[in-house]
Amino acid sequence: MQPLPSTQPWDDEDGFHEECGVFGVWNATDAAALTALGLHALQHRGQEASGIVTLAEKGAFHAHRGLGLVGDIFGDAKVMASLKGRCAVGHNRYATTGETALRNVQPLFADFEFGGLAVAHNGNLTNAAVLKRALVRRGCLFQSTTDSEVFVHLIAISLYANVVDRLIDALKQVQGAYSLIALHDGALIGARDPMGVRPLVLGRLGAGEGGAYVLASETCALDIVGAEFIRDIEPGELVIINNDGLRSIKPFGRTQSRFCIFEYIYFARPDSVVEGTPVYATRKRIGSELARESHVEADVVVPVPDSGVPAAMGYASEAGIPFELGIIRNHYVGRTFIEPTDQIRHLGVKLKHSANRPMIEGKRVVLVDDSIVRGTTSKKIVEMVRQAGAKEVHMRISSPPTTHSCFYGIDTPEREKLLAANHDVEEMARIIGADSLAFISLDGMYRALGRPGRDAANPGYCDACFTGDYAIPLTDFEGQPERVPTLLVANSK
């Protein structure tokens, strides 16, 4: 096994692991309320903190940020009344390591010579630490420990005259994954990295001149505000939305799409349509492929809720085995991964799931979940299902083995902690205590996405967590503290 970089960049242990949701609206009544609703629909993308920045008349910005859930932060009428204006940008944060501090809560905001600018970023930059070091040498004073702040400083030092050119200048210097929304006096701007790793969609609220544009991480956020889906923002595309309409720029030329396949498997909400493909139907198809690939004689198919539900439905219907909710999830406990220590993570699993005994007792059970990361969940669930009287427990996973860490915005632990990085499938089955264990194959996953299989020359998706094929350089993570770019504004005029 080839040693891999740590997921911690070398100069900052803090805050570089973020999965997030972004939402923005241009020219709508109740822009802040729409944004709060959009963020609520995107709550699954981040539960640690949220923020909204609005733009009122004459370049006056208003902001509110808080730690916790969207409903708690923006449920206060006074807070909402203070967020004046017809344009807004919002952000949900999901940072899993490091400090939980208000200074890291986005949208970030800064005053430039051209006026104020708010930035909300989903994704993870892979050269932020290197850039930060160079920026600090130039005298930039960082206010937060989030990688996203490098955008702000790169924009500040750019020598281009207008904000869009400065943003492009900044984007050309960063590596990594980003879907971002920026708001300034003159426009709402949406941008995706050249490979389009993280999602970003465009929608429209109302028709004609009074209509408003909406940008969001996922279509579920358009649905909640009643916006019509127009299209995905393309990889490497910038859209500039203002009172004259929408303008698109492709500053990176032709690029190869590498959309994150894990969005389909786990991260996106099942009712979202991502890159033209409904997430729910895809998950069901993955379940059907899985049943074809690794059928086992059984009495009942039980999903690990909620993440395993659509795949288990696909599995059950393909295998002709009854589907039952043999595990019940308590919805008032956050995702297991949010808990910071191993001890609490173990506790979290027990708090979250309980066995529905009559559906399990005396039966041969196929358990379906979307992924095995550390193996903590599977181990606990298998044990729980056995304690509830299952005769056999067969674990089926609707993704290939997670053998590599993600550096592009999905929280995964260090490679050493990934069960599949250290054990083969048989050993994993023994560790989690299952009678059998099977994962969908890489080709099976691509078939479920409508392709003949994985085309190694052009996979079309980022599947680095399953293959180690990192399409974007991992500059910060390669342990070269002395590598500092000498001239940051080399691209600028």
Asked if 26 and 76 touch (Cβ cutoff 8 Å), the reply is no
| Of 360, 367, 363, residue with least CA distance to 294 | 367
Asked if 54 and 83 touch (Cβ cutoff 8 Å), the reply is yes
Q: What is the DSSP string of 378-411?
A: HHHHHHHHHHTT-SEEEEEESS----S---SSS-
For 83-205, strand residue ranges (E) read 87-95, 108-112, 115-122, 179-184, 187-192, 201-205
Q: Quick one: which of 304, 309, 360, 366 contacts ligand AMP (CB under 6 A)?
A: 304
Q: Three-class SS of residue 292?
A: helix
Nearer to ligand AMP, 109 or 264 (CB): 264
Q: Is 398 in the site for ligand AMP (CB under 6 A)?
A: no
Q: Which two tokens stand for residue 5?
A: 């970089």
Q: How far is the CB of 406 from ligand AMP (least distance, A)?
A: 8
Q: How far is the CB of 95 from ligand AMP (least distance, A)?
A: 12
Q: Is 289 in the site for ligand AMP (CB under 6 A)?
A: no
Q: Is 50 in the site for ligand AMP (CB under 6 A)?
A: no
Q: Kindly determine how many residues on this chain lie close enough to bind ligand AMP according to the rule CB under 6 A.
A: 19
Of 93-132, which residues contact ligand AMP (CB under 6 A)? none
How far apart are the C-alpha atoms of 62 and 67, rounded to whole Å?
Answer: 18
Q: Is 463 in the site for ligand AMP (CB under 6 A)?
A: no
Please enumerate, as own/partner, the contacts of 170-173 that have beta carbons within 8 Å and a separation of 24 or more: 171/238, 171/251, 172/251, 172/252, 172/491, 173/131, 173/485, 173/488, 173/491
Q: In which residue are the tokens 């089926």 written?
A: 396
Q: Is 261 in the site for ligand AMP (CB under 6 A)?
A: no
Of 161-180, which residues contact ligand AMP (CB under 6 A)? none
User: Peptide bond preceding 476: is omega within 30 degrees of 0, i.e. cis?
Assistant: no
Q: Is 217 in the site for ligand AMP (CB under 6 A)?
A: no
Query: Between vectors from CA 263 to CA 203 and to CA 453, what angle results, nearest 5°?
Result: 115
Asked if 257 and 460 touch (Cβ cutoff 8 Å), the reply is yes
Q: How far is the CB of 14 from ligand AMP (least distance, A)?
A: 19
Nearer to ligand AMP, 90 or 375 (CB): 375
Q: How far is the CB of 402 from ligand AMP (least distance, A)?
A: 8
Q: How far is the CB of 36 from ligand AMP (least distance, A)?
A: 24
260 labelled catalytic: no
Q: Is 32 in the site for ligand AMP (CB under 6 A)?
A: no
Q: Is 372 in the site for ligand AMP (CB under 6 A)?
A: yes
Q: Quick one: which of 61, 151, 178, 266 contacts ligand AMP (CB under 6 A)?
A: 266
Q: Is 263 in the site for ligand AMP (CB under 6 A)?
A: no
Q: Quick one: which of 195, 373, 390, 449 contacts ligand AMP (CB under 6 A)?
A: 373
Q: Quick one: which of 92, 307, 398, 475 contacts ligand AMP (CB under 6 A)?
A: 307
Q: Is 410 in the site for ligand AMP (CB under 6 A)?
A: yes
Q: Quick one: which of 21, 107, 287, 375 contacts ligand AMP (CB under 6 A)?
A: 375
How far apart are the C-alpha atoms of 383 and 401, rounded to whole Å?
Answer: 21
Q: Is 396 in the site for ligand AMP (CB under 6 A)?
A: no
Asked if 223 and 214 touch (Cβ cutoff 8 Å), the reply is no
Residue 448 is inside which H or E element, if any? Answer: helix 442-448
Q: Which two tokens stand for residue 106?
A: 């986005």
- Name 201's bridge partners: 216, 232
Residue 290 is inside which H or E element, if any? Answer: helix 279-293
Q: How far is the CB of 1 from ligand AMP (least distance, A)?
A: 19
Q: How far is the CB of 55 from ligand AMP (least distance, A)?
A: 33
Axis crossing angle, helix 309-319 with helix 279-293, rounded to the nearest 10: 50
Q: How many CB atoms lie within 10 A of CB 1?
A: 8
Q: Is 405 in the site for ligand AMP (CB under 6 A)?
A: no
Nearer to ligand AMP, 324 or 370 (CB): 370
Q: Is 146 in the site for ligand AMP (CB under 6 A)?
A: no
Q: Is 439 in the site for ligand AMP (CB under 6 A)?
A: no
Q: Is 337 in the site for ligand AMP (CB under 6 A)?
A: yes
Q: Which two tokens stand for residue 103?
A: 């200074």
Q: Quick one: which of 44, 64, 65, 374 contacts ligand AMP (CB under 6 A)?
A: 374
User: Peptide bond preceding 306: is omega within 30 degrees of 0, i.e. cis?
Assistant: yes
Pick the piece of the chain touching ligand AMP (CB under 6 A) from 235-243, 249-257, 333-341, 357-365. Answer: 333-341
The catalytic position among 20, 87, 406, 462 is 20
State phi, psi for 44 to the nearest 5 degrees.
Answer: -60, -20
Q: Quick one: which of 378, 398, 405, 475 contacts ligand AMP (CB under 6 A)?
A: 378
For 464, residues 6+ apart whose C-beta sits below 8 A from its C-beta are 404, 406, 407, 408, 470, 471
Pick the piece of the chain touching ligand AMP (CB under 6 A) from 221-229, 372-380, 438-446, 450-458. Answer: 372-380
Pick the piece of the chain touching ligand AMP (CB under 6 A) from 61-69, 99-107, 284-292, 369-377. Answer: 369-377
Looking at the chain, the number of H-run helices and the number of E-run strands are 16, 23
Q: How far is the CB of 380 from ligand AMP (least distance, A)?
A: 8
Residue at 182: amino acid letter: A
Residues at the contact surface with ligand AMP, assessed by CB under 6 A: 266, 304, 307, 335-337, 369-378, 410-412
Q: Which residues are catalytic?
A: 20
